Amino acid sequence: MFIDEVIIYVKAGDGGNGILAFRREKFVPKGGPSGGDGGRGGDVVMVATKSYNTLLHLRYNPEHKADRGRHGEGSNKKGRDGHSIEVGVPVGTAVYDAATGDLVHDFVVAGDHFVIARGGRGGRGNARFTSPTHQAPTEHEDGKPGEERRLQLELKLLADVGLVGFPNAGKSTLISVISAARPKIADYPFTTLEPNLGVVSAEGDRFRSYVVADIPGLIEGASEGHGLGIQFLRHVERTRLLVHLVDVSEFSGRKPIDDFKIVMKELANFSEELSKKPMFVVATKTDAAQDPKRLKSLKDLAKRRGLPFFQISSVTGEGIGELKRAMAEQVLPPADVPHWEL
């Protein structure tokens, strides 16, 4: 099950209390204050890891609490600090404060650690209040409470290229042809119910590759919640290139330019920046296109907007190689530039 949005509760450990104590030992004529400090509460730390690719593990485990610090003891013994806990999240997770909606942290690199809730400080024992004029203090402090907060987590997949378009525009078929991904493919709308990722190797160099995300199809009103709504559009926010697939065959029953404009409108409604990302316009299912006017109308529209245009057939392989090369040139560094210089 692909879960990309959850709300969790985190609670750092409270600090231990400082105590009131005095030394009373045989053969020690003068005692004195000996109350130790309380231990510090444990932190809640989030860690980005490649071990997860969904937030499913947090859906069924929404509460995370660190250990509290132990109270101080006599003989100036400090209480033990509470154990911190780590909460693993997939790379690409954005963490928001559920109350304010403010972004707390964005995990974009594996191994990134972030203290999401800090443990409370331990209280001071009465031994800490000793002074030349106050040699038998009875003051001592309680530990401070650890931070607690409700957080909204959103997973935004990290991909170089995002495939967008109407349902049944050929996105899943294309990603199955250019990568090892095997998404469900069928001749009915909304076959794709969750994003799929595929790794595409650059031609002639299997060590240079890029990631393509297949996003469930958009329909008119998607930004208002129709169809699958805007549920998955966040997954193309991080991409560097959008590949807009448009079905030019007669089977869709719609005009290609209308499909293009509707999807562009929904992208803009979701995020103005998203609609302004670099984009390729790709006419799909050209092997089944009988009316050349449908292809020409889309090509002319792309030309007017200054967008690169490609025409492909995932069935016959027409134009696939050209499209792969163009995507690689757009998102990959030149082959002669070592990766450590980037």
- Average pLDDT, consecutive stretches of 10 residues, N- to C-terminus, the chain (342 residues): 83 96 77 91 94 87 95 92 95 92 92 96 94 90 96 85 84 84 49 66 70 72 48 75 90 85 85 86 86 90 94 89 90 60 43
Buried b (16+ CB within 10 A) or exposed e, 215-243: bbbbbbebbeeebbbbbbbbbbbbbebbb
Report pTM.
0.69
Question: According to the model, what pLDDT value does residue 20 have?
Answer: 94
Look at strands 148-155 and 5-11 and give their pairing.
antiparallel
| Torsions phi, psi for 311 (to 5 deg) | -130, 130
CA distance linking residue 66 with residue 83, whole number of Å? 6
| Domain boundaries defined on the chain | 5-155, 161-341
Whole-number pLDDT of residue 41 = 97
d(CA 54, CA 197): 13
Structure tokens at 102: 């403010």
Q: How big is the CA angle at 194 (ends 311 and 180), to the nearest 5 degrees?
A: 60
Q: What are phi and psi of 250, to 5 degrees?
A: -80, -10
Phi, psi of 83 (to 5 degrees): -75, 135
The reported pLDDT for the residue numbered 96 is 95
- The widest CA-to-CA distance across the chain, in whole angstroms, is 107
How far, in Å, CA of 265 to CA of 275, rounded? 8
CATH no. of 161-341: 3.40.50.300
CATH class of 5-155: mainly beta
Q: How much is the pLDDT for 107?
A: 94
pLDDT for position 340: 41
**One fold for 5-155 and 161-341:** no
- Rounded Cα distance, 197 and 175, in Å: 8
